């Protein structure tokens, strides 16, 4: 028969012969959603028949469908029916024992209800079989919650051991979460770029910053990147569970045993306030604003008007009724005050203020001396999180005192150095490592009044690594290291 004479049936049979014709029960398949019905989702899996998935398998907790026509889905083959190849995302409902065994062999997720807490873990009801989930396997890595919190919840697990006709059923939710997290990590590696502004959730607070989950990987917002404010504390800026916008400063996905390092910034995502305020009426000369005393110097008081924007009230503008000798005579750091804008220099980022009304109206703001200008320049550098170069001033058995660029002295406590408390021995070690008058790079850990706590960059990095969530490692599908219930406690970390 000529090419033009080939009938439609012949062409279809040739096409069907080129498709996969055998999909074994339990096999994991990937396909494209071709149609969505009232109760069924149809998937092209490259076989003679379409795959069919119960619509409920693809709905979220709110009952909304998570896929659209054209989306790619992964599922497990459970057999055949008149409709097509029966697929499932997970085994749920009133399954029979053979289905649980099939789930174990094929690594198909199963649904189970946590019914109680027992020694080392939880009792989980899977259909009519009671299983055991170890404490360390109930949630993702690094997640610590109250043990009773899971009781009554219906969760999805992998069957890690099925023996004695189901009397020995061991489950793991963590393995499933790890697999999902690893897939998400791969997606994020392809999509995230330095400079992107993304949304994340705060997962952990430390003295040096906050860890933020970006949807599968964690990044660190260093304390210096939390806010434009001066001397901020982490807990004053964010709390665990907060949803925040962050800018990605750097991405290092690790490799060869190294953990990923993702540096983030909340303040960079907010934008520089100095680029915004020239267009705001609140910074016009003569306008009154509320502010907070952030720093007292001999020549005046620095007033924070908003995070990242400070003005200087010269000492000549502080005494309304009589001349004062020093700002601390009438002000304290942290005090809220009303100020008036006297002059604003947006190019130099300088704002001249007075407390209340100007003492002498229409008079130009007092000019700082060269030394006062220098002090005004460096004072803002002493903020928590700043990396500075200081000079070793003196050494004590408990730490090293470091002179900072603005003339203040900070303490590098022994706990922030590589040395342990060993009396005279550690003093000698300090002198060898940090000779008097030598320069040393330090990080401002905390500023509390005149007390400045310092740390070393390497100490901060070690703390950061120690408190990071472990890099996820998904074991091979054939790994059966969980063992049976009998040897569970000898084969598992049940912390």
Tell me the per-residue pLDDT of 390-404, one tens digit each, with 9 for 90 and over: 899 999 888 999 988
Residue 154 belongs to domain spanning? 97-177
Report which DSSP code applies to 423: T
Whether residue 281 is found in the same domain as residue 372: yes
Q: How many CA atoms lie within 13 A of 140 on its CB side?
A: 15
- Give me the percent of the chain exceeding a pLDDT of 90: 11
| Tokens representing residue 485 in the block | 């219930």
Out of 177, 210, 245, pick the residue that ends a domain: 177
Asked, for residue 484, whether it belongs to a domain, the answer is: no
Q: Which residues, in sequence order, are bridge partners of residue 396?
A: 399
Mean pLDDT across the chain, nearest whole number? 77
Separation of first and last alpha carbons in the chain: 73
Out of 145, 177, 209, pick the residue that ends a domain: 177
Cα–Cα distances in angstroms (integers) from residue 284 to residues 228, 279, 280, in the given order: 21, 9, 8
Tell me the per-residue pLDDT of 394-453, one tens digit each, with 9 for 90 and over: 998 889 999 887 677 889 999 888 886 655 578 888 888 899 988 898 988 887 766 888
What pLDDT is stored for residue 64 in this prediction?
A: 83
Tell me the per-residue pLDDT of 31-58, one tens digit each, with 9 for 90 and over: 899 888 888 889 888 877 788 888 887 8
Asked, for residue 103, whether it belongs to a domain, the answer is: yes
Report which DSSP code applies to 71: -
Whether residue 136 is found in the same domain as residue 198: no
Q: Please count the helices (runs of H) and the strands (runs of E) in the chain.
A: 9, 25
What pLDDT is stored for residue 406 in this prediction?
A: 67
What pLDDT is stored for residue 16 in this prediction?
A: 38
Whether residue 359 is found in the same domain as residue 420: no
Whether residue 230 is found in the same domain as residue 259: yes
Whether residue 394 is found in the same domain as residue 430: yes
**Pick the residue with more confidence: 420 or 356?**
356
Count of structural domains within the chain = 5
Out of 123, 154, 177, pick the residue that ends a domain: 177
pTM: 0.54
Asked, for residue 139, whether it belongs to a domain, the answer is: yes
Asked, for residue 476, whether it belongs to a domain, the answer is: no
| Tokens representing residue 83 in the block | 């409709």
| CA pair distance 457, 388, nearest whole angstrom | 10
Asked, for residue 227, whether it belongs to a domain, the answer is: yes
Whether residue 300 is found in the same domain as residue 368: yes
Asked, for residue 145, whether it belongs to a domain, the answer is: yes
């Amino acid at each position: 028969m000529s090419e033009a004479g080939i009938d439609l049936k012949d062409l279809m049979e040739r096409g069907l012969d080129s498709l996969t014709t055998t999909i074994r029960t339990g096999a994991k398949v990937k396909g494209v959603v071709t149609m969505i019905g009232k109760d069924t989702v149809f998937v092209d899996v490259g076989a003679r028949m379409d795959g069919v998935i119960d619509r409920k398998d693809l709905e979220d907790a709110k009952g909304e469908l998570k896929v659209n026509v054209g989306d790619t889905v992964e599922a497990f083959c459970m057999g055949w029916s008149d409709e097509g190849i029966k697929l499932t995302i997970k085994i749920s409902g009133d399954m029979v024992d053979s289905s649980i065994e099939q789930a174990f062999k094929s690594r198909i997720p199963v649904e189970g209800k946590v019914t109680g807490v027992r020694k080392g873990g939880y009792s989980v009801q899977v259909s009519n079989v009671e299983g055991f989930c170890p404490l360390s396997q109930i949630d993702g890595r690094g997640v610590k919650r109250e043990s009773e919190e899971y009781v009554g919840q219906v969760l999805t697990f992998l069957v890690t051991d099925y023996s004695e006709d189901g009397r020995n059923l061991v489950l793991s939710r963590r393995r499933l979460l790890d697999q999902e997290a690893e897939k998400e990590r791969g997606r994020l590696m392809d999509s995230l770029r330095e400079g992107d502004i993304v949304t994340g959730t705060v997962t952990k607070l430390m003295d040096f910053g906050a860890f933020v989950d970006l949807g599968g990987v964690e990044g660190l917002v260093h304390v210096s990147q939390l806010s434009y404010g001066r001397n901020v504390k982490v807990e004053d800026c964010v709390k665990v569970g907060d949803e925040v916008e962050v800018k990605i400063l750097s991405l290092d996905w690790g490799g060869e045993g190294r953990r990923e390092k993702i540096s983030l910034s909340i303040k960079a995502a907010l934008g520089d306030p100095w680029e915004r305020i020239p267009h705001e009426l609140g910074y016009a000369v003569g306008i009154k604003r509320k502010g907070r005393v952030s720093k007292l110097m001999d020549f005046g008081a620095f007033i924070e008007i908003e995070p990242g924007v400070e003005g200087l009230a010269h000492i000549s503008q502080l005494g309304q009724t009589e001349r004062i000798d020093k700002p601390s005579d009438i002000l304290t750091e942290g005090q809220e005050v009303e100020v008036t804008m006297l002059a604003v220099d947006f190019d130099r980022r300088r704002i001249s203020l007075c407390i209340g009304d100007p003492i002498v109206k229409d008079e130009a703001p007092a000019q700082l001396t060269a030394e006062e200008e220098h002090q005004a320049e460096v004072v803002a550098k002493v903020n928590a999180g700043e990396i500075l170069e200081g000079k070793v001033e003196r050494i004590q058995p408990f730490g090293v005192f470091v002179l900072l660029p603005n003339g203040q002295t900070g303490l590098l406590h022994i706990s922030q150095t590589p040395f342990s408390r060993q009396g005279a021995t550690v003093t000698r070690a300090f002198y060898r490592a940090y000779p008097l008058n030598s320069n040393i790079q330090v990080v401002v850990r905390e500023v509390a009044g005149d007390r400045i706590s310092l740390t070393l960059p390497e100490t901060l990095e070690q703390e950061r690594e120690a408190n990071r969530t472990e890099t996820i490692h998904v074991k091979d599908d054939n790994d059966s290291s969980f063992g049976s219930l009998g040897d569970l406690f000898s084969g598992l970390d049940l912390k």
